[in-house]
Amino acid sequence: EVQLVQSGAEVKKPGESLKISCKGSGYRFTNYWIGWVRQMPGKGLEWMGIIYPGDSDTRYSPSFQGQVTISADKSISTAYLQWSSLKASDTAMYYCARRGYCSTGSCPNWFDPWGQGTLVTVSS
C-alpha cells in the first residue's frame, strides 16, 4: 500500500525553528515528486512547493519562497518542511502529497495519496 506518514503535532513559540517530516512507503520514493500544502485554521488549501527526491530538485510557490525550506533524504524515503523562525501566522495544518508518476516527457498534475497532516501551533 502506498502511504505517506507525517510526523506528529508540534507546539512551538515564535522565533523557534521546526522541521516536520513525511515518510513514503510502498513505492520507489525517488521516482515521485512530493508536494507540500498549507491549510490555515478554517481555511482552504494553499500550494507551498514541491521536491523531487531523486535529485532534490525543489520549486517553491512565490508566496512561500524564502519562508520555508523543503528538502528530502532519499536514503530514508523522507521529505521535510522546515522553518528557521516561526511566526504565529505559521499556525496551520501542513500536508504532504505525492504527485503522479512522471514518465518520459509527461508529468501528471494531480496528487495522490496525501499524508495525514501535521498540525503546527505557534503561540507564545
Partner 1 sequence: QSALTQPRSVSGSPGQSVTISCTGTSSDVGGYNYVSWYQQHPDKAPKLMIYDVSKRPSGVPDRFSGSKSGNTASLTISGLQAEDEADYYCCSYAGSYFWVFGGGTKLTVL
Site of grid cell 502511504: 3
Pick 55 or 112: Cβ nearer partner 1 = 112
Q: What is the spatial distance between Cα 97 and Cα 37, in angstroms, rounded to a whole number?
A: 8
At closest approach, how far in Å is the CB of 27 from partner 1?
A: 15
Q: What is the spatial distance between Cα 120 and Cα 76, in angstroms, rounded to a whole number?
A: 23
Amino acid letter for position 12: K
Q: Could you tell me the CA-to-CA distances from 22 to 15, 43, 114, 123 in Å, in that order?
A: 23, 22, 10, 23
Residues 46-65 close enough to bind partner 1 by CB under 8 A? 46-47, 50, 59, 61-62
Pick 37 or 86: Cβ nearer partner 1 = 37
At closest approach, how far in Å is the CB of 38 from partner 1?
A: 10
List interacting residues with partner 1 (CB under 8 A): 35, 37, 44-47, 50, 59, 61-62, 95, 97, 100, 108-117
